[in-house]
Structure formats: C-alpha cells, structure tokens
Structure 1
Amino acid sequence: MGAAVVTVVVWTAFILIARASAARSLTPFDLAFARVCGASLVLVPWGAWLAMKHRDAVSSFFGLSPLSLRVTATAGIFGGVAYALIAYSGFFFAPAGHAAVLMPGSLPLWTTLLAALVLRDRITPARAIGLAMIVAGDLVVGGRSLLHAFEGGEVWKGDLMFMGAAFCWACYSVVARRHGLDAVRATIAITVFALMTYIPVYTLLVASGAVVSHIGSAPWGEVAFQMAFQGIGSVVISGITFTKMIQHFGPVRTTMITALVPGLSAFGAVLWLGEPMHWSLVAGLALVTAGILFGVRKAATTVRTAPVCPTPCPAGMGGSNG
C-alpha cells in the first residue's frame, strides 16, 4: 500500500509542479535538462554496475545502457527525450487541469490503438466502450480550447502537446512490451540515451544562442529541486514504486488505483494553483475516469491473469495497460 500511495502522490505532484514551474525561471528545455541530469545521478551508476555484473549481456553506450543500441535509441527517443520536451512545453500553454485529464486520459487510448496495430492485440467491446468514454472526455476538455484557437488563444497548443506526450509514452510502452523489457533496465536505458544525446545537443544549442536557457540565471535552489523531483522523484522513485504496485496488486488493480491521478490533479490545481473548475473540466474528468475504470474492470472479469507491465510510467501518467 505504501508503494501505491507514493506513486499516486508523485504522479499527481508532477502535474501540479510542472505547471507551477512554468511561471518561474526555467524553460521547458531547462526542465528536461534538470530531469535527465537528476535521474542520471542515480541511474547511470546503476547501469554501469549492471554492466559490470553481467559482462556477457548485451549493452550499448559504452556499457552504460543494459539494452542494445537499437532498442535503447527507440525507447529513449519516445520515453526519454520526446515525452519530456513535449509534456513540459504543454504546461507553458495549458493549465494543470487540462493536463490532468488529457495526459492520463489519452494514454490508454493511444496505447490500445498502437498495441492493436503493432502487437495485434484485440480490442474487446468493453475496452472499446471505455475508449469511447475517454475520447468523449478528451473532446469535452480540449474541444473548448480548440474552438477558441482562431480567436488568438493558446491553450489548445498545450492540449495538443499533452496528448502528444501521452502518444510518445504509449509508443515507449509498446516498444517495451514488444521487446519484453523490465522496468529497471528500460528506465536506465532511456535515461542513458537522453544523457548521451539530449544533453550535448541542448548544450550546443544554448551555446550558439539557438535555444534560450535560464539555467545559469535561475536560483540554484530551484534547479536543485527540479533535478531532485523531476529526475529522482518522477523517474527513479515512481518507477520503482509503480513496479512494486504491479507485483503486489497486479496490472488491473494497479490501473484502478492510478485512475485516482486525474481527479486528484484536477482538484489540486483548483486548490493550490487557483485554476477555475469549469463544467467542461468536471464532465471530461468524469468521462475519462469512468472510461479507464470501465475498460479495466471489464477486462478483469474476462482475464484472470495478465502479463506484468514491463515499464514504469512517468509521474502523472497512467499505466501502460494496453
């Protein structure tokens, strides 16, 4: 139960803190930099230790990634670099309440569709109904901002980015399922990939003036906090606790528990960030949560045992249960 509490709290805090960070010093590129550096402090030595322990195993990136180069790159692009950049950018345009619905809400949709396309998974009638509820909830929340796009509003940009981030994580989840990756090695691999690719490119772009960075001018306390929370908390700790949840509760009950995240995040945004609670947000939240729970509960009645989810989801995201 402790792992479940930690996972839900960290995922909820991810959405609230990322939105609050958009009003402070760091840019989305800076936040991604802090996330990768913070996670690397723990996961890179861990990866090196695994490489030394299993010298005959397949590895890449000078032995730091416990996966092959192709798998590391594929998983790292979607789960390491693209997800972080797109998600953090979304918080600079749209409120946390939208992220609470659209990121966890659209993740089961993208994962199911990609799993059906790539892994040939069957979409059951019950799951189809649940996905229809999720789509309806996403449209209720995001449709309003899309209608105002031509009036000069920018919230719709964040909404699309939240759904894009969920799509990236769904791609990563399907890659992990296809290759049977375990949680620890997959998380180490995407972190090593981001460290070896994103950090050098980010540094060069900042040095050339192509990308604006506030890392140098931001308070060091803020930078240290983001490294600790976004990297160690969101990537390392929630990854481990999510895996513990899967082992103890199973994938079905775990998804039911993590369905608390959209509601807690949305109401947390109202209480702590002062965001308004529009009727569309409440309706969309209800539809998305009902869709997740309906699909999972119906799946539980027909499937007594299910494969363990091989990947930990980032903070603020639902389980990769597609």
Structure 2
Amino acid sequence: MPLTPPSNLSGFAAAWSIVFVWSFWLIVSRIAQDSGLTIYDLAAFRYGLAALVAVPLCLYYKPWRGLRLFQIAVISFILGPVYILTVFSGFVYAPAAHGGIFMNGLLPLISIIFGVFLMRTLPSSRQMVGAALVLFSAVVLAYDASVTSAEGAWIGDIFFTIGALFFSSYVILSERWQLGAMQIIFCGTVVNAVLYLPIWALWLPSGIADAPTGALMLQMIYQGFVPNLIGLLFIAHASRTIGNGNTSFILAAVPGGGAILGALLLGESLSILSISALVLLTIGLMISVRRRKILTA
C-alpha cells in the first residue's frame, strides 16, 4: 500500500487546520458578546491589526498594479465593514453553531444561484443534488431554531445569510478576476483599515477600556491575525498540495465543527432534528464540491 507523500500530508494537515481555525472563529466571535467589546471593536481588530502585517507586504509586492479602481472598490466593499459587522451582529442573536450552518453551509447554494443569473453558468446534476440537500437542511435548521433556540435566533440567522451572500459574491468575483492573495489582502485589509479605523476611532462606540485583559487579547489576536492571514496561508498551501477539490471537501466539515465546539465549549445544544439536518447539510456540501479556487473567509 503506497504511503502518502509528505507534501500531501502537510496539505491535508493545513486543510484540517482551516476547519479548526474557522470553527473556533465562530466560538471566539460568539463569546465576544460577553467581553464588553462592541462589534465595532471586533471589526477594528480585523482590519487594523491585520494591516500591521499587510501594509509592509503590500508596499513590497505592490498588488494594486494589477487592479482597476473599479475592482478595488468592489472587492473592498464586499469584504468591508458592512459585511463583517453584519456577521458579528449575527452572533449577538444566534448560537455559534448557526454561524457555520448559515454562512459556510449556504455558500454552494448561493454560488450556484449567482452563477446561473449573473454568469449564465448551469450547475451539474451533482451540484443540483448537493444544493437541494443544502436547501432542505437549511430550511429544517431554520425551523428548528425558531422552535428550540433562544428568542431572536432567527434574526442572527438572517444576518448570517446576508454574510453568506457577501462572501459568495467575493468568491465568484475573485475567481472571475483571477485575484491573487496579495491583491485580496490589499483590498480586504489595507483599504478597509484606511477607511474604517478613523470612523471607528472618532464616532463608533467602543468597550476596549472596560474589557478584561484576557478577553481583549484573545479577540485582538484571533480577529486580527488568524482568519485573515494564517487562514489564507493554510488555504493556499492546501490547495497547492492536495488540490482545490480535496480542500473544498474537507472545508465542508466547518458547520459540523462549529456545532461540536459550540456544544463542548459554550454548552450550546442541538436537537436531534438539527443534528440530523446538520449531517445532511454536510453530505450536501461534499456532493456540491467542484474544483475551483478556494479563498479565505
């Protein structure tokens, strides 16, 4: 029996690390609501701290040279404060598990819809089956959340769905425009840091002064560096070594990972109906996988 090459092993390790990174990000974002920090603080960490690393890299590589002003404006808006504040607002109302279910889980379905209406790209029969399972699972999960979850959880689910719309748009445009990692970092981090940080510092409410030191450091490190920078490197390595299809297949575990961590770390519970729908959702995601460029969240 042939052994897996070391490069493939590192690729699989990177892909599964992304699952943990994104799943744990759901938990970190959820517990931020108990730290005294505002959603505006979390957005400031995401753009401002990441920019400390991104600015020197962008000055060296000059990624704006290959971009039109229109492309910079569109990608920066899609990955900007409207998107991330919408997502963080979802955690105010809904459990962490719902973030993975409605953001990551709905991505294939939304991407298929966008592809049909915007680019006239018809999905394969395999994608249609996967999308149907995803849609059915989402409907069941939304219904069960309205019955068993805390009051107002459905509001968070709507916010997460809007976030999925933003992220799907980003994935489609990034693939269509063949954007590189540094171009994405420039638009998503540097441009938004320049635009958002002055507004946050001057006018938006902040809880940094009253937040406990441990909670503050966790949010600063994780929101500022892990998903944007480390996650991007892991995805790039995984896609290069084991292929986009295998990477996508493994990333289908994010909703389940978020649900498991939510139960273990936050005491969040899912009903039998939700667990069954989550399993079906994961199967639908795996069926929907197609070989394409995978980008960071």
Is the pair's TM-score, using the shorter chain for normalization, greater than 0.5?
yes
Question: 2:179 and 2:258 mapped to 1: Cα distance?
Answer: 29
Paired letter, 1:313: T
* CA positional deviation for 1:133: 0.7
Partner of 2:250: 257
Partner of 2:27: 16
Alignment of 1:144-159 (within 5 A): 144-146=144-146, 153-159=151-157
State yes or no: 1:187 paired with 2:185: yes
2:296 to 306, 313, 321: 313
The count of corresponding residues between Structure 1 and Structure 2 is: 286
Whichever structure has more helix as a proportion of its residues is 2
Alignment of 1:236-247 (within 5 A): 236-247=229-240
Alignment of 1:179-218 (within 5 A): 179-206=177-204, 212-218=205-211
Partner of 2:267: 274
* CA positional deviation for 1:109: 1.3
State yes or no: 1:161 paired with 2:159: yes
* CA positional deviation for 1:193: 2.0
Which TM-score applies when normalising by structure 2?
0.89
Provide the secondary structure at the position in 2 that maps to 1:285: helix
CA deviation map 1:41-99 (0-9, x unaligned): 11111111112xxxxx754xxxxxx6333212211111232331111110110001212
* CA positional deviation for 1:251: 1.5
User: Which 5+ residue runs of structure 2 have no aligned equivalent?
Assistant: 1-11
Which TM-score applies when normalising by structure 1?
0.83
Question: 2:64 and 2:257 mapped to 1: Cα distance?
Answer: 41
Partner of 1:6: 17
Paired letter, 1:202: W
Asked whether the 8 Å contact 1:259–1:289 carries over to 2, the reply is yes
**Percentage of pairs with the same residue:** 28
* CA positional deviation for 1:165: 0.8
**Residues 68 and 196 from structure 1, CA distance in 2 versus in 1: closer, same or farther, beyond 3 angstroms?**
farther
User: Which 5+ residue runs of structure 1 have no aligned equivalent?
Assistant: 52-56, 60-65, 207-211, 300-305, 315-322
Partner of 2:221: 228
* CA positional deviation for 1:216: 2.7
Paired letter, 1:10: V
**Residues 290 and 174 from structure 1, CA distance in 2 versus in 1: closer, same or farther, beyond 3 angstroms?**
same
* CA positional deviation for 1:238: 0.3
**Residues 130 and 12 from structure 1, CA distance in 2 versus in 1: closer, same or farther, beyond 3 angstroms?**
same
Partner of 1:172: 170
Question: 1:259 and 1:134 mapped to 2: Cα distance?
Answer: 11
Asked whether the 8 Å contact 1:82–1:165 carries over to 2, the reply is no
Partner of 1:62: none
Question: 2:84 and 2:207 mapped to 1: Cα distance?
Answer: 17
